[in-house]
Amino acid sequence: MSPVSICMFLVVLLVYSLTNTSASSAVRTAANLVYLESPTDTPAEKLEGALLNALVFVILIAFVTFVLVLLYYYRCTSFLKHYTRFSAFFVLSFMGGPIFLTIIQHFNIPVDSVTCFILLFNFSILGVLSVFSNGVPILIRQSYMVALGIVVAAWFTRLPEWTTWVLLVALALYDLVAVLAPGGPLKILVELASRRQEELPALVYEARPTTNANISGSRGGSTLAGLLVAGMSQNDGSDHGVELQAVSASPRTNIGNYENEIASESGHMVINMDNDDEEEVEVVREDQEETSPLMAGNSRERSRSPMMYESTDNSSRRLNEVAVAEMMRPRRERDGDEMIEVMNGRGIKLGLGDFVFYSVLVGRAAMYDLMTVYACYLAIISGLGCTLILLAVCRHALPALPISIALGVIFYFLTRLLMEPFVVGTSSNLMMF
């Protein structure tokens, strides 16, 4: 939850400080191919144009997803890996660059162009390296994920208003269809990956460090218990995630990941396992040669991807099925703390597409008022919570977008149309309750 909050907060900040300067530069992007909105059109025209735009965009995304599924089917994994690296570089430098420049112009920061270029270049290269390698500290990788999300979201907020809202709704629907419907591309991807017991190269935010120990199943029994507890306390039946290190040709790694499980920074609820449950999980563990570290469960959430790159989610592991079953029995007392906490320290693995579209929604709300920002933020967080609970119940891949986006859009329009005249009317007369 907290990386999502940080991303949204930074996007709101960016939108607030840069709204004046960006003005009405109509950017023609893939989301604008059909219809370029201008303030003088009638609402009917705008709605029609926005629908067409959204349709074209969704078709484009679906096409790209199918291409990716094909590539994955024919095992062109290294191509996918290189493509993801290229898109990370492209996003950070060519899309982050203009934002960077706008900030410099807006705040009159004295820096010369050569320094600027070198800084940007270094920034992008480090981003590319951190996205896929294991040697980079987890904090850097997380920051770069958030940075990628911010850059793409900031670009999306430049779209005109009607197009943005219709696009968000269309993408939420697409996500729903693509993940749950029998012919959906993301569903095929998940099944392929699970059948091959492999992991996809994808861009995913993960909240805990992972090491790539190339051990498979050979662990001392004594440490196993401790690790299991620590490990289970990291994941819980939700979220998805692909291990980014999977891209390399050693899928059977990651059993060692448990060692570095520290309570995730996200400060979520931790579902700790009781000591009694360990044996069961242990047995299953020995059967597993390869595991996706920490992943809980069958339940994954899929994430949407914008045009630039696909962030897809991974499949489930049998281990995790059991783990999830164990985890559904929460409650364990924390040391010395009397309160029984329902703690869920999931190493959150959230697809980057989710970050982007949540931030786009909040950024667009920020362009109206702070009240709408807060309302949409609450709606998205509670939607995320609901999705996670649903995930723990359903235990298979679920789309992360629909519930949050639906709640967010509803709350935005309700707040803007209903609540604002009411609250502003009373509080500007200094009457509150």
List residues binding other proteins (CB under 8 A). 267-270, 274, 329-333, 337-344, 369-371, 374-375, 378-379, 381-382, 385, 411, 414-415, 417-433
Closest CA to 199 of 28, 80, 37, 335: 80
Residue where the block lists tokens 């570089």 = 89
CB of residue 419 to other proteins, shortest distance in Å: 4
**Could you please report the per-residue DSSP string of 207-275?**
SS--------S---HHHHHHHHHHHHTT--S------GGGGSS--S--SGGGGG----TT---B-PPPG
> Given the complex with other proteins, which of 157 and 305 has the nearer CB atom?
157
Which active-site residues does the annotation give? 175, 354
CB of residue 340 to other proteins, shortest distance in Å: 5
- What's CA 370's distance to the chain center, in Å? 24
> Given the complex with other proteins, which of 45 and 341 has the nearer CB atom?
341
- Are 284 and 277 in contact by the 8 Å Cβ rule? The answer is no
CB of residue 347 to other proteins, shortest distance in Å: 14
The SS3 assignment for 325 reads helix
> Given the complex with other proteins, which of 30 and 424 has the nearer CB atom?
424
Residues facing 206 on adjacent strands: 349
What residue ranges in 331-379 does DSSP mark as E strands?
332-333, 340-341, 349-351
Residue where the block lists tokens 């992991």 = 199
> Given the complex with other proteins, which of 116 and 371 has the nearer CB atom?
371
Residue where the block lists tokens 């029994």 = 221
Amino acid letter, 187: K
Number of alpha helices (DSSP H) and beta strands (DSSP E) in the chain: 15, 6
CB of residue 350 to other proteins, shortest distance in Å: 17
CB of residue 1 to other proteins, shortest distance in Å: 9
Most distant CA pair in the chain, distance: 71
Phi-psi region of 166 (alpha: psi -120 to 50; beta: other; left: phi over 0): alpha
CB of residue 408 to other proteins, shortest distance in Å: 12
> Given the complex with other proteins, which of 292 and 404 has the nearer CB atom?
404
Residue where the block lists tokens 């294991």 = 134
CA distance 25 to 196: 47
> Given the complex with other proteins, which of 2 and 248 has the nearer CB atom?
2
